[in-house]
Amino acid sequence: MRVPGWIAWVVAWLRAHDPGLAATRRAGRTALVMPALFALCSEVFHSPAMASFAAFGSFSMLLLVEFPGTMVQRVRAHLSLGVSWGVLICLGTLVAHRTWLGVAVTVVVGFLVLFSGIVSSVLAGSATALLLAFVLPVTSPAPLSVLPDRLAGAGLATAAAVLAVCLLWPRPSVDPLCAPAARVCRAASARIRAEASRLDHGADAPGAEQCRAAAEQAARAGVDLRRAFDATPYRPTGLSITSRALVRLIDELTWLARVLADTPTSTDDPPPCDPAAPAVRRALADVLDRAAELLEDLRADPERLRLASDGLRAAVVRMERSSTGLLPVRRPTAAARTDVDAFVATLDLSFRAQELGFAVLQIAGNIHLAAAAEQRSWPERLLGREPGALTEPLAAARERAAAHLQPHSVWLHNSLRGAVGLGIAVALADVTAVQHSFWIVLGTLSVLRSSALNTGQNAMRAVLGTVAGSIIGAGLLQLIGHHGTLLWFLLPLAILLAGIAPAAISFTAGQAAFTVTLVVLFNIGHNPDWHIALLRVQDIGLGCGVSVLVALFFWPRGAGAAVERALADAYRESARYLAGAVEYAVGHCTADPAATSAPVPQGREAAASARRLDDAFRSYLAERGSKPMPLANLTALVTGVVGLRLVADAVVSLWRHSAQGRTEVERTDARLEILGAATRVTDWYRGLAAGLDREADIPAPVPTDAAALARLVASVRHDLSDERGQATGTAVRIIWTGDHIDVARRLQPGLAAAARPKGSG
């Protein structure tokens, strides 16, 4: 059967403007379910209250949300949303009769709903639907006798939404980040395996050009992954163990790609290296290949990844022992000094293998946890039981919320202004006694979802869309005249357009289609009245005005300034964490036991500041209009925070399971050299933070200090040998710690260039 040309054109247009047909899927379901429920409740049960709450409940649960995850996870999320609707309807009905109480409770509920989104993308994506559940009853005072009808309408909407999600065009359970993450793993594996073959000088070793091509492919895969991650309006993660592992995995894969990009590709004459280093690289490639396999199918057996990870750990231990045995620490002679310098150069390849080993083991651990969570039984999923090894959900929620209880948190600003804006709108609706005052609050809510800097633009588009929709709606009512039955046929079409237009056309078109939907809905069962269209302009115009005033009051500088502050805070905390990590490392060279306590508080603060930065960055990306900083520069600064924090993690991991080294207090040359290098590097990052805060100029990057390297070599030879004059593992770890610090130093030129305004010195 041949498809008509116009249908093929419409489908092609939708696929081009609605990737994955996500908006079309939601709109199609809603267009079928919402009119059916409205007709059932109004024409069969003859309950206007039940009809209103069933219609708006299905509208919220099908059109305003789309939960991620497997079908079981989606059903559980929809059931939870339905229960939340019931609770909020009861609360809104109880407080609606006293204006002061309704306004106060609106502010509290608005803040809790908006701020709770920080702990989960599921809650963040449900915020508008949850607020509608409270706004509808609080702006429509009614006797408590109608509460059962309201709850029945919401219950019908919940049941219909669950059935629609399961049966009407169900969305595939595909995580949007697993495929690009697997591609990063495979590309990194190919790059590392090629380097290992080159270092082995094998007959079948790839040429330098092949190594460079593999390096370019790995870099592209890393950029694609980060772009996919940043494209989501919220962090694509919830409180489940799979989600929490995923968000860390993205940071670690981003860092892995950055480390590989910073590693020079092989020349035609590869340098000599410790024979154990190529073996570690081959073990790294094996782990990454197994990780990619598991990412592509989280239901597969994780045993191969576990065995590969065990092999990598053993290879890293052998490399550390091999490097220790090669370190010359005898009394200096001219030849010995040359040998030590040559060894440190050779040890650089071993350090690169150790650095990559840490990153890959972290990646493998997170993927293994994600797979273990994915392979839980159905009852375990439904009850939310999670495998151990991660923070419990409530503890994770408290930690995330605490990270944003800071004066400069974008999420805190958005939650405050949204809550106060809704409270003012409820008060305004009561004072002005405007008919259908619910739409004043809805207008406020539709605009307050954006950033403050963009609120004025969104308000203008909302009003324009409302005016256009009102004119179209009034024209339709004039054409229909007394044939009100036609409105039942127009309602599904209006809902379909209201669902597709915001994603496929524009915010203004979506607002116009939504207004037409409301005009049709409120005239069903009555004589068509075009005056209702004019009332919608008045109502939503008042709401948009409230949102603009509240937004400008709470966030007058917009997302651009907020992201710069978040960047500055993240660099300060990450530099503090790196300084604490280095102090922890060199504490193994002193007699003070307190010097070997891991910097856990600094690490938590650094992670919290990174979460605040992530949310500010997403607000910045979502904001329309010109950007004060080029996106490429800002992305480089954001990924720089990830790199700096993970360098500190690597230092802590390097020393966490090491034995205590030499403890003679008077032999502290190596310790002082490492602390001096760390101070120079972390002071630069504090200067970068001050520059981002506009308190100072961006400092010049710290140059390579050859004299400091020579002093470190001498101190290692002098201090870090045992009673027999043999090198210790502490000596190698001290050198590797210095290399980690140098990784943070090598990030500086790119970050300085990104932070400085174009054309500045």
Contact 491, 528 (CB under 8 A): no
Higher-pLDDT residue of 121 and 337 is 121
Say which DSSP state 593 is in. G
Mean pLDDT of 270-287: 79
CATH number of this structure's domain 178-232+242-383, picked from the four choices 1.20.58, 1.10.287, 1.10.3470, 2.60.98:
1.20.58
Contact 700, 545 (CB under 8 A): no
Distance between CA atoms of 128 and 134, rounded to whole angstroms? Answer: 10
Contact 17, 118 (CB under 8 A): no
* pLDDT value for 34: 92
Residue 106: band (very low, low, confident or very high) from pLDDT cuts 50, 70, 90: very high
Mean pLDDT of 119-127: 75
Given the structure tokens 């059916």, which residue do they identify? 36
* The pair of three-digit structure tokens given for residue 583, joined into one six-digit string: 């102090």
Rg of the chain taking only CA atoms, in angstroms: 30
- How do the domains of the chain map onto residue ranges? 19-173, 178-232+242-383, 408-556, 558-755
**Which run of H or E residues covers position 313?**
helix 303-326
* pLDDT value for 560: 64
**Alpha-helical segments (H) within 96-207:** 99-116, 121-125, 127-138, 147-167, 178-200
Higher-pLDDT residue of 694 and 1 is 694
Distance between CA atoms of 211 and 352, rounded to whole angstroms? Answer: 16
pLDDT of 311-357, one tens digit each? 999 988 888 777 766 665 554 444 444 555 555 665 677 778 888 88
Interior angle at CA 260, CA 176 and CA 324, nearest 5: 130
* pLDDT value for 33: 95
> Per mean pLDDT, which of 140-144, 162-166, 701-705 is the most reliable?
162-166
Please name the fold of domain 558-755.
Methane Monooxygenase Hydroxylase; Chain G, domain 1 (1.20.58)
pLDDT of 151-195, one tens digit each? 999 999 999 999 999 898 887 665 667 888 899 999 999 888 888
**Alpha-carbon torsion 432, 436, 438, 442, what sign?**
negative
Q: Which residues pair with 708 in a beta bridge?
A: none
Mean pLDDT of 408-419: 79
Same fold: 178-232+242-383 with 558-755: yes
Nearby residues of 387 by Cβ (< 8 Å), 6 or more positions away: 241, 369, 372, 373, 376
What pTM was estimated for this model as a whole?
Answer: 0.72
pLDDT of 394 strictly over 80? no
Please provide the distance, in angstroms rounded to a whole number, between the alpha carbons at the two ends of the chain: 67
What's the mean per-residue pLDDT of the chain?
Answer: 77
Tell me, what amino acid is at 435?
Answer: Q
Distance between CA atoms of 656 and 587, rounded to whole angstroms? Answer: 11
pLDDT of 575 strictly over 90? yes
* pLDDT value for 389: 41
Count Cβ neighbours within 10 Å for each residue of 272-305 and write b for 16 or more, e otherwise: ebbebbbbbbbbbbbbbbbbbbbbeebebebebb
